[in-house]
Amino acid sequence: MKKIYSIPVFLTMMFLVACSEDFLDLKPIAMETEETFYKDFDALDMTATAAYGILCTRDIFDYYIFMGYASAADDVEVGGENTNDWPQFQAVDRLQHSPMLSTIFDSWGYCYKGIRMTNEFLSRVDKIRATDKKVNQALVDQRIAEMKFLRAFYHFYLAVVYGGVPIADKIVDPSMFSTPRNSLKEVYDFMIKDLKEAIPYLKEKSQLAPNYGRVSKGAARALLAKILLYESSYAKNYPGDERFAGMQERWTEALQYAEEVINSGEYQLVGINGERFASWRNPNGGVGGYRWIFTLDGDNSPESILEIQNVMDGKGWTYTRGSYIVTYFTVRYYYRPSDPTHSDRVVGGWSFNLPTSYMVNAFGNQDSRETGLHSVPVDPKLDPRFATSIGRPGDTILVNDQTEGEKWFPMSFSNLPTQTISRKYECSPQEYWNGRTNDNEGPMNVRWIRYADVVLMAAEA
């Protein structure tokens, strides 16, 4: 009997020995893999959408950049309820930050995640365009250009925050996670190359309507002009500094791309001829162009070159596509003049990003032809943009008060050491405060590049 059983046992052992590893390495049949997912351009285009999606990360390209890193300079203080509010930003403000702060490592992770999506698209697009017979070749070229823009954009943000960083021009294998940093000059050359290759295949803003969230030819030219301006400034102001080794003054190139935006006819300075625009801020007489730009109605205005698109979708913390900026920057308290105690009442904002005296003084205006520029009667003469940008004691905010209804009430500055507040991203109660379900659902777009910025770039170059 032993001999009889030994035969099947022997055969079974031989079968197992003969099996290759492929027998054990089965492909999943109940879920998508990269190979099964990327069947056509429509599937690949989802990766392009994911690359755009990083722009909507509130922790980076929303309030982080305007509050977190601006506070490291002299223009603003962090603010908040008190000097200990939001410690990671207070640390940046005091230049006591470390790599372990979320304000630091989040930027690194999210930007490289966006770059990963662009490289995923670019690594697969040639195969898809060759095998998908229904694909629109012009659309493929446009998407390639968009991905190169976004790859440059994310690298630029990394370079601004960290200096020289590892260039990610392809999908990074885990074994490459310890790749050393490239020099700042190498990063700049890489970004400039990507943008120059992208520009010919991108559409003008007018051709994108109503899909203004996509990258335009003007956005690529403007970003390229900005990068060239940065390199020129480093070369001029830091000769001999190892951090900027190899940098060159490229003012002529910067001016060239800025002027291409200016001469495109796609953009204009809003309100340059004194136009007035309907707004909740002044229902009877309207507001000037600069004030109107920073309202919900001013989203994707004729002055807009690159905006991150937001909506108040009511989906809550996890899935929202809104902005934090409205909540973070709006004043926290107001008071009723009818209340003799002037007790603080909650507006809904958090009073972060407080302009300092350096910012206030930057709005000084010595032009004797200008009149009526005061934010408050006792102030010195100020630039017309001041009242839109900065609020101080004596200024009011539109609030839907539970007792007195919707009206303009004085802001309270009782907890603000600078006695100032940022005002650009205020919304009306109807636009935001009455309808929101979470603090991060501001509906207003984030203005990243405006035509006015490009005009100033050209002037500097």
DSSP 323: B
pLDDT at position 32 is: 67
Overall domain count for the chain: 2
Q: Are residues 80 and 194 in the same domain?
A: yes
Q: Residue 193 is part of which domain span?
A: 51-272
Confidence check: pLDDT of 320 > 70: no
Long-range contacts, 68-76 (Cβ 8 Å, 24+): 68/92, 68/103, 69/161, 70/353, 71/353, 74/356, 74/358, 75/355, 75/356, 75/358, 75/359, 75/362, 76/353, 76/354, 76/355, 76/356, 76/359, 76/422
Q: Is 18 helix (H, G, I), strand (E, B) or coil?
A: helix
Top mean-pLDDT range of 91-95, 219-223, 421-425: 219-223
**pLDDT: which is higher, 11 or 209:** 209
Tell me if 247 sits within 8 A of 192, measured CB to CB.
no
Q: What is the DSSP string of 388-453?
A: HHEE-TT-EEEEEETTTEEEEEEEE-TT-TTS-EE-TT---IIIIITT-SSTT-B-SPEEEEEHHH
Q: Are residues 349 and 222 in the same domain?
A: no
Assess whether the previous peptide bond of 384 is cis (omega < 30° from 0).
no
Q: Is residue 243 part of a domain?
A: yes
pLDDT tens figures, 260-272? 999 999 999 999 8
pLDDT tens figures, 362-417? 887 655 544 544 444 545 567 778 888 999 999 999 999 989 999 999 999 998 99
pLDDT band per the 50, 70, 90 thresholds, residue 317: low
Q: What is the DSSP string of 330-376?
A: S-SEE--TTSTT---EE-S---EEEE-HHHHHHTB---TT-----SS
- Summarize the confidence of residues 234-260 as an average pLDDT: 98
Half-sphere exposure of 63 (CA within 13 A, CB side): 24
Quick one: which of 294, 293, 220 has its CA closest to 257?
A: 220
The H or E element spanning position 79 is strand 76-79
pLDDT at position 369 is: 47
Q: Are residues 131 and 192 in the same domain?
A: yes
**pLDDT: which is higher, 67 or 403:** 403
Confidence check: pLDDT of 15 > 60: no
How many C-beta neighbours within 10 Å does residue 341 have? 7
Q: Is residue 45 part of a domain?
A: no
Quick one: which of 332, 286, 273, 329 has its CA closest to 446?
A: 329
pLDDT at position 124 is: 95
Task: Report the C-alpha gap between 154 and 223 in whole angstroms.
Answer: 11
Confidence check: pLDDT of 422 > 60: yes
CATH number, position 132:
1.25.40.390
Q: Are residues 251 and 324 in the same domain?
A: no
Whole-number average pLDDT of the chain: 86
Among the ranges given (244-248, 266-270, 441-445), the one the predictor scored with the smallest mean pLDDT: 441-445
Cα-based angle 413, 414, 416 (whole degrees, multiple of 5): 60
E strands along 236-350, which residues? 304-308, 333-334, 345-346
Confidence check: pLDDT of 16 > 60: no
Q: Are residues 93 and 203 in the same domain?
A: yes
**pLDDT: which is higher, 301 or 100:** 301
pLDDT at position 257 is: 99
Cα-based angle 194, 200, 206 (whole degrees, multiple of 5): 115
pLDDT band per the 50, 70, 90 thresholds, residue 14: very low
Q: Is residue 44 part of a domain?
A: no
Tell me if 436 sits within 8 A of 425, measured CB to CB.
no
pLDDT at position 31 is: 59
Q: Are residues 58 and 185 in the same domain?
A: yes
pLDDT tens figures, 283-302? 888 899 999 999 999 999 99
The amino acid at residue 162 is Y
Cβ neighbours of residue 338 under 8 Å, at least 6 residues apart? 404
Q: Is residue 131 part of a domain?
A: yes
Q: Are residues 223 and 132 in the same domain?
A: yes
pLDDT band per the 50, 70, 90 thresholds, residue 318: low
Tell me if 176 sits within 8 A of 153, measured CB to CB.
no
Q: Is residue 365 part of a domain?
A: yes
**pLDDT: which is higher, 420 or 21:** 420
pLDDT at position 21 is: 55
Quick one: which of 429, 432, 428 has its CA closest to 440?
A: 432
pLDDT band per the 50, 70, 90 thresholds, residue 26: low
pLDDT at position 56 is: 85
Q: Are residues 333 and 214 in the same domain?
A: no
pLDDT at position 378 is: 46
Cα dist from 225 to 185, 205, 453, whole Å: 16, 17, 11
pLDDT at position 348 is: 83
**pLDDT: which is higher, 193 or 94:** 193
Q: Are residues 240 and 333 in the same domain?
A: no
Q: Are residues 190 and 328 in the same domain?
A: no
